[in-house]
Amino acid sequence: MIAPLSLEWAYRGVQVLLGWSLLIQSIEFLGMQSKLHEFSEEGVWRWSLQVKEMPTRATGVLSALGWLFAPSQLRGLFLLRSLSAVVLMLWGSPWELMLFLLASTVLLLFRFRGAFNGGSDFMTLVVVSGLFLAEFFTPFVGQKLAHNASLWYISLHAMSSYFVSGWVKLKRAEWRSGDALVIFLDAGIYGPLKSTSVFRRPWVAKLCSWGFMLWEAVSPVLLIGPIWAELYCLVAAVFHFLVFWYFGLNRFFWAWMVTFPALVYCSAGLVTF
């Protein structure tokens, strides 16, 4: 096992992985806009349809958003986020840069009515906001306290997300029986499953389902120590890779990988106030 991460390396690891994750997201958006025209007035994500759900009194705000979310301006926003992601990976996270990333992340969540890619978008928001708060408050409370607080903020969000997800599944009969797993795999990239698929065997589906449910539900073991955290994150990487492989959700893989340095660091209890 690797040695416990220092505060410096854990914080830098989060910065680099977040930059990589944001760069992938921005490239995906640019690809969709240029090839599929999903954000144009002929696409499924057209703003003229979504704006109908907005409060009609905020005409000035809606006009400004309409200008910002026009295809050319939206493309410029994606390009700026790509550039910011590169800066984040190479030079770190000054609060001005993180403020832009935070504001643009919130705007994109607003543009896509809460989330474009589910939990990965919200985990990205957690990490971006954590780094922004750390950089903004460093002059007031000191770098060590600010960076510690940021890593714990990220870790507690990630750990609680696993915990809640596991226990919600454990309460559902279809997950305990393994039926839900088969249903999800039937709707995946390679679905529906063949009649001879190993996952159609009830005991296999049930075993896999219980394995991942229990793994999520016991996420507090992360805090026992670095070895436990490293093992947990290793299983998490396998889990998120399988989600990517079977469902094409590559954003989930990278959005959650961003949190791993923080989880390993916090497992050692390296908080110095």
Q: What is the pLDDT of residues 187-236, one digit of tens each?
A: 888 778 888 889 899 999 999 999 999 999 999 998 888 899 999 999 99
- What whole-number distance in Å separates Cα of residue 193 and Cα of residue 105? 36
Q: In the chain, what percentage of residues exceed pLDDT 70?
A: 92
Answer positive or negative: Cα dihedral of 256, 259, 264, 269: negative
Q: Quote the pLDDT of residue 56.
A: 64
Q: Quote the pLDDT of residue 60.
A: 79
DSSP assigned state of 197: -
**Would the pLDDT of 89 be above 50?**
yes
State the pLDDT confidence band at 273, using cuts at 50, 70 and 90. Answer: very low
Q: Quote the pLDDT of residue 36.
A: 62
- What whole-number distance in Å separates Cα of residue 231 and Cα of residue 233? 5
Nearest residue to 263 (alpha-carbon basis) of 166, 126, 144:
126
Q: What is the pLDDT of residues 131-142, one digit of tens each?
A: 999 999 999 999
CB-count burial class (<10 Å; 0-12, 13-18, 19+) for 52: exposed
**Would the pLDDT of 41 be above 80?**
no
Q: What is the pLDDT of residues 107-127, one digit of tens each?
A: 998 888 777 777 889 999 999
- What whole-number distance in Å separates Cα of residue 267 and Cα of residue 221? 9
- What whole-number distance in Å separates Cα of residue 30 and Cα of residue 194? 35
More confident residue, 143 or 270: 143
Task: Spell out the residues 6+ positions from residue 32 whose beta carbon is closer than 8 angstroms to its own.
Answer: 38, 39
Rg of the chain (C-alpha set): 20
**By the 8 A CB rule, do 123 and 259 touch?**
yes
